[in-house]
Amino acid sequence: MRHDQRRTLQRHSVQRRTVILLGSAQLLSGIGTGATVSIGSLLAVDLSGSSAWAGSVSTVMTLAAALSALPLASLADRRGRLAGLVTGLAAALAGVAGIVVSVVSGSFLLLLLGTAGVGVGTASNLQARFAAVDLADDEHRGRSLSAVVWAITIGAVAGPNLIQPGAVVGQAVGLPPIAGPFIISAAGLVLACVLLLAGLRPDPLLFARQLAAAGQQPATKQPTGQQQASQPPAVTPRRGALARGLRAARSSPSAILALAAVVGAHAVMVGVMSVTPLHLQELVAGPGAAAHAGHMASGDVLVIIGFTISLHIAGMFALSPVMGWLTDKAGRKQTVVIGFALLVAAVAVAGAGQRSTTAVAVGLVLLGLGWSAATVAGSTLLAESVRQEERVMVQGVSDMLMGAAGAVGGASSGVILSWAGYPGLNLAGGAVAGVVLAAAVMALLPGRAGGHAGRVSGTAGGRSLAD
């Protein structure tokens, strides 16, 4: 008994340290991606010589994140979370260096290659949220995950504000001013890698597997219809990662709902958010303003757009600890329902109030809050809905599909906007959100599998209610 108690205390200690380290690393590494998103479009136009390539940086970042999610998950599955996280951050560091060289050399191709590296870092940052729950108890799993998500807020806010101080740094080291912010980003990425390499020991995933082999992992109810292996395999297959992840997800109704929640929320959020600046520009400056480059410099337009997007980002990340607390207290599936109800309300407010900048801003705040609730709750539910030895690959599939959904949502939003207008775009988003909302409500109905799933027991050692 004393040995078990010592192991439990050790697990709690490692878990607390892991969450702090991951959050700190997210704060530092997030600055790198934030700078690329905010300055990348300017560099793309400057180096390509055409405004038609303005969206190329965000597109390449999104696709790189989606395509690298599964390989990074496979690496983590084989060698632990540390290997996956540091590899992604190292790719981002190489990408930031490539972007600096592209500015100096004037190479647009090198800019895109560097951006792809930063996208791999984005995938690594996404997977950090799952590392935060490898050792977590059921009653704290949502809060642990949301704490790491919240840390992204600093990078997301700091990145767009690095232009001026970065210009000073760039001039100080003899680089073009616009390259300066990426020097700061590189420093943040280096510090994040050093922090993880020095502090993420023992590796949370490998330690969790050791505890599982000894029968001392955090108490979790096994998914219905599945048998937990007495000891997870020491080496998992290197091939067929996508098939393995999808097969494991299909075996659990809760995992399917969790995937639908994460992917659906991201598609709706990106689809509406990506073209809202264009809608606000036309709303404030008048129809056809987007076709005139001179109007894009209008102070009033930029202030309104910047303020609205800032509120949206705050909705996405600033209250994620609240969403984590709600996930643990109200339940995983219940919080998914709340998240998609907020998404439906968001598109209703923004679409119906399309002529009001205030209504659009309120809609985007609700959009961010809905995304936060659905992503935190969905990711938490996913982490406990499949067997431990399959968990990492399912999480990789989730991030891959999430990135793909964002790319599709962003690419299709412009087409829908031109065809059906801003109300039509919000209606399309509402249709997607409504389908997932209905599925989540159905999962909570009495008499269905997992109908009361998602509420954690109020006693210590409460069971996960995954299926």
- State the alpha helices, DSSP H only, in 214-295: 241-250, 253-285
Coil, helix or strand for 28? helix
Coil, helix or strand for 131? helix
Residue 307: which CATH number?
1.20.1250.20
**In terms of pLDDT, which residue wins out, 161 or 390?**
390
* pLDDT at site 236: 44
230, part of any domain: no
* pLDDT at site 291: 44
* pLDDT at site 318: 86
342 and 402 part of one domain:
yes
| Amino acid (one-letter) located at 6 | R
* Cβ atoms < 10 Å from Cβ of 153: 19
* Cβ atoms < 10 Å from Cβ of 400: 24
Band the pLDDT of 282: cuts 50, 70, 90: confident
Which residues, other chains included, contact 237 with Cβ-Cβ below 8 Å and sequence gap of 6+? Answer: 244
State yes or no: pLDDT of 401 exceeds 60: yes
| Amino acid (one-letter) located at 9 | L
103 and 138 part of one domain:
yes
State yes or no: pLDDT of 130 exceeds 50: yes
153 and 271 part of one domain:
no
Mean pLDDT of all residues belonging to the chain: 84
Instruction: Using a pLDDT cut of 90, give the percent of the chain over it.
Output: 52
- State the alpha helices, DSSP H only, in 159-179: 163-172
Helix axes 56-79, 81-105, angle to 10 degrees: 150
145 and 15 part of one domain:
yes
288 and 390 part of one domain:
yes
156, part of any domain: yes
Residue 50, classified by CB atoms within 10 Å of its CB into exposed (0-12), middle (13-18) or buried (19+), is exposed
pLDDT of 188-207, one tens digit each?
A: 999 999 999 999 999 999 99
**In terms of pLDDT, which residue wins out, 354 or 41?**
354
231, part of any domain: no
Phi, psi (5° rounding) for residue 455? -95, 120
Query: What is the extent of the structural domain holding 274?
Result: 241-467
4, part of any domain: yes
392, part of any domain: yes
Over residues 289-318, the mean pLDDT reads 67
Q: Using CA atoms, how far apart are residues 385 and 443, in angstroms rounded to an integer?
A: 14
Cis amide prior to 176 (ω within 30 degrees): no
* pLDDT at site 274: 83
Residues in the chain: 467
73, part of any domain: yes
Domain count, the chain: 2
Over residues 449-463, the mean pLDDT reads 41
410 and 313 part of one domain:
yes
| DSSP class per residue in 352-369 | HTTT-HHHHHHHHHHHHH
169 and 134 part of one domain:
yes
223, part of any domain: no
State yes or no: pLDDT of 288 exceeds 60: no
**In terms of pLDDT, which residue wins out, 143 or 295?**
143
Closest CA to 429 of 273, 224, 315, 322: 273
Over residues 154-162, the mean pLDDT reads 65
**In terms of pLDDT, which residue wins out, 455 or 215?**
215
* pLDDT at site 224: 38
286 and 210 part of one domain:
no
State yes or no: pLDDT of 158 exceeds 70: no
Band the pLDDT of 229: cuts 50, 70, 90: very low
145 and 53 part of one domain:
yes
* pLDDT at site 157: 65
* pLDDT at site 161: 66
29 and 119 part of one domain:
yes
* pLDDT at site 163: 67
Using the 3D structure, point to which of 214, 230, 259 is the last residue of a domain: 214
Distances (CA, A) of 243 to 64, 235, 247: 20, 17, 6
194, part of any domain: yes
Closest CA to 404 of 228, 264, 256: 264
Which residues, other chains included, contact 464 with Cβ-Cβ below 8 Å and sequence gap of 6+? Answer: 138, 141, 220, 221, 384, 456
198 and 258 part of one domain:
no
250 and 202 part of one domain:
no
| DSSP class per residue in 283-294 | HHH-TTGGG-GG
Over residues 225-229, the mean pLDDT reads 38
